[in-house]
Amino acid sequence: MRMLLFHIGRYVLLMKKVFSRPEKGRVYINQTLDELVTIGFNSVGIVVIISIFMGAVITLQTAYNLENPLIPVYLIGLGTRDSMILEFSSTVVGLVLAGKVGSNIASEIGTMRVTEQIDALEIMGINSASYLILPKILAAVFFFPFLTIISMFVGIFGGWAAGVLTGAISSTAFIYGVQYAFVPFYVVYALIKTVVFAFIIVSVSAYEGYYCQGGALEVGRASTKAVVYSSLVILLFNVIITQMMLAK
Amino acid sequence: MIDVQNISKSFADKVVLKNINVVFETGKTNLIIGQSGSGKTVLMKSLVGLIEVDEGSIIYDGRNFTAMNFRERKEVRKEFGMVFQGGALFDSLNVLQNVLFPLNVFSTMSKSEKLDRAHFCLKRVNLEHAAHLFPSEISGGMKKRVAIARAIALNPKYLFFDEPNSGLDPQTSIVIDNLIKEITEEYQTTTIINTHDMNSVMEIGEKIVFIYKGNKLWEGTKHDIMHSDCPELNDFIFASEFTRLIKKNIKNLT
Ligand SMILES: Nc1ncnc2c1ncn2[C@@H]1O[C@H](COP(=O)(O)OP(=O)(O)O)[C@@H](O)[C@H]1O
Ligand SMILES: [Mg+2]
């Protein structure tokens, strides 16, 4: 418990340092553009792949569970749409990105710490926390919502393809279901969650890397911890945000 | 000149530096020697403010660095050049960009002046041909030299080297040592070097400070060191068969 408070306190102080006034604006813009590529574009592939398969599985599972002939078959399309939008495109994608992006960030910053590159920045009077972490936060917070939107479309498409190819549902019924009783607010809810998750993934992983001590082994540990802790915090905030936004 | 007055540092309950008093002189190679874990790196990082000391002050030519705020320190830091143990080159930048980095941070020069300066520094360490290579593509000795080029880019008054020879073969070590000595004389810098390498001590030890478990036990020159009566220092110097042999021969000669 004392350790938890210690980490939370040090995390808050680190974030304060990250958001204290950056020095040369231009440098940050370039860094952020670079990070958009590393953190953002390079994650499109994995998001597309998992979303297709998730959409497909949701559709098939819903179809196999809907044996009752009284329930209209287009509900399969509706179920796929809502599951993708409400939960999978933000939370599951967030967890996968915590694995991909989070471990990357922790090992990059952790390596810079143990090889004294962070000290080298500090001795030049550079706010290393802000210089290294802020561009990553900006890039993720800006780009992850696009990943979520991509995931929604691709997932629903995957569901449609799986449903139609296996004969579980007709194309028309699925599309009717996808359009039926659409709640735009769910998309807003998903995007807000995504922005929060993006911040969690980058800041928690950067924290683990920034305070890494030792050598290559510790960098590996920091990277594992980054994935575990950012995933846990994502799951926690998923509950909190859901309670705040969807509870009636 | 760097005047270190009474500095102490502990991590949690562990005392790492105890009441260190020492003066590092201008235009000289000042060596901090001691076993691994004796506190050399902590002492050096305390000097430059990467570690905050618990007590004492560090005076840079009359300026009390310890008492300064972040902004004032940044002004003094412009006069620092530091070479870290592994070189600490930025992995994502090539050799030339690494040397340009401090120039871009601090200097008001034009772009072409900066480039000229960076090339000049690389030439000084004999690495012009490696300008476009990345840290992962060069040897340990080259990394150290790039780090030296980066450290001298801003014409520093104070140069810090943390174990510049660690991981290098004896010949490359001597090249680096002599480079450090030449630069010190050429630019009249106050140069501080952490080392546990007796070759370096005998090569460039103009002023030597011996640290043992966080205490300063001895100081002197390379001419005094062979005759010191500090037992911990003698254990440190004459740790190997080879050095004991040298000592025997020195005794026989005198
Ligand atoms: N950040 C730190 N936290 C706790 N202990 C540290 C820290 N940095 C160094 N130490 C301890 O201080 C002692 C001196 O370390 P150091 O200055 O690195 O020795 P060396 O003389 O080999 O450079 C070691 O026992 C080390 O474990
Ligand atoms: Mg050391």
Pairing of strands B190-195, B207-212: unpaired
Is A116 within 8 Å of chain B by CB?
yes
Instruction: Report the pLDDT averaged over residues B36-64.
Output: 95
Q: What is the pLDDT of residue A56?
A: 97
Whether A120 and chain B come into contact, CB under 8 Å, resolves to yes
List b or e across A4-22, with b for residues whose CB sees 16 or more CB atoms inside 10 angstroms.
Answer: eeeeeeebeebbeebeeee
List the single residue in B70, B77, B91 with the smallest CB-CB distance to A124. B77
Give the model confidence (pLDDT) of B21-37 as tens digits: 999 999 999 999 999 99
Q: State the amino acid at position A134 in one-letter form.
A: L
Whether residue B254 is predicted with pLDDT greater than 70 in this model: the reply is: no
Sign (positive/negative) of CA torsion A98, A100, A104, A105? Answer: negative
- For residue A138, the surrounding DSSP H or E stretch is helix A128-166
| Eight-state DSSP code of residue B170 | H
pLDDT of residue A66: 83
DSSP class of residue A227 equals H
User: Cβ < 6 Å from ligand 1: which residues?
Assistant: B 11, 14, 16, 34, 36-42
Ligand 1 centroid to residue A119 C-alpha, Å: 15
Query: Are B88 and A126 a contacting pair at CB < 8 A?
Result: no
In the sheet with B215-220, reading across from the earlier edge strand, the strands are: B80-83, B158-162, B190-195, B29-33, B207-212, B215-220
Q: Could you state, in order of their start, the residue ranges of all structural domains in chain A?
A: 26-246
Partner-chain contact A120 B90, CB within 8 Å: yes
**Measuring from atom 19 of ligand 1, which residue has the nearest CA?**
B37
B84, A116: Cβ pair inside 8 Å? yes
Among B7, B11, B36, B213, the mutation site with the greatest number of ligand 1 atoms within 8 A of its Cβ is B11
The answer, yes or no, to whether residue B183 has pLDDT greater than 80, is: yes
Question: Atom 25 of ligand 1 has which residue's CA nearest to it?
Answer: B37
Task: Give the pLDDT confidence score for residue B105 in this predicted structure.
Answer: 85
Task: Pick the more confident residue, B198 or A85.
Answer: A85
Tell me how far the alpha carbon of residue B40 lies from the centroid of ligand 1, in angstroms.
Answer: 8
Where in chain B are the domains?
1-79+158-165+191-254
Which of A28, A30, A124, A213 is most worth mutating to test chain B (most B CB atoms within 10 A of its CB)? Answer: A124
Per-residue model confidence (pLDDT) at position B68: 94
| B192, two tokens | 């501080």
User: Residue B253's pLDDT band (boundaries 50, 70, 90)?
Assistant: low
ipTM of the complex: 0.91
Tell me the pLDDT of chain B averaged across its residues. 92
- Please, what CATH class does the domain formed by B1-79+158-165+191-254 belong to? alpha beta
Identify the pLDDT of residue A248. Answer: 74
Note whether B91 contacts A117, CB cutoff 8 Å. Answer: yes
Q: How far is the alpha carbon of B203 from chain A, nearest alpha carbon, in Å?
A: 27
Give chain A positions within 8 Å (CB) of B108: none
The tokens for A27 are: 């440098």
Rounded mean pLDDT, B199-224? 92
Can you tell me which residue has the tokens 């399309």? A77
Tell me the percentage of chain B whose pLDDT exceeds 70.
99
Q: B217 pLDDT band (50/70/90 cuts)?
A: very high
Predicted pLDDT at B241: 80
- Checking if the pLDDT of B225 tops 80, the result is yes
For residue B227, the distance in angstroms to the closest alpha carbon of chain A comes to 37
Give the CA distances from residue A204 to residues A8, A10, A113, B14, in Å, rounded to whole numbers and listed in that order.
10, 11, 16, 29
- Tokens 């840290």 belong to B135
Residue ranges of A 142-201 with Cβ closer than 8 A to chain B: none
Separation of CA B31 and ligand 2 centre (Å): 13
- Give the Cα separation of A164 and A170 in Å (integer): 6
Section B149-166 average pLDDT: 94
Tell me how far apart the alpha carbons of residues B40 and B115 are, in angstroms, rounded to a whole number. 34
CA distance A54 to A126: 44
Structure tokens at B144: 């150290």
Per-residue pLDDT of chain A (248 residues; tens, 9 = 90+): 889 999 999 999 999 999 987 667 777 888 899 999 999 999 999 999 999 999 999 999 999 888 788 888 999 999 999 999 999 999 999 999 999 999 999 999 999 999 999 999 999 888 999 999 999 999 999 999 999 999 999 999 999 999 999 998 999 999 999 999 999 999 999 999 999 999 999 999 999 999 999 999 999 999 999 999 999 999 999 999 999 998 87
Instruction: Say yes or no for a CB contact (<8 Å) between A119 and B80.
Output: no
Give the predicted TM-score (pTM) of the model: 0.91
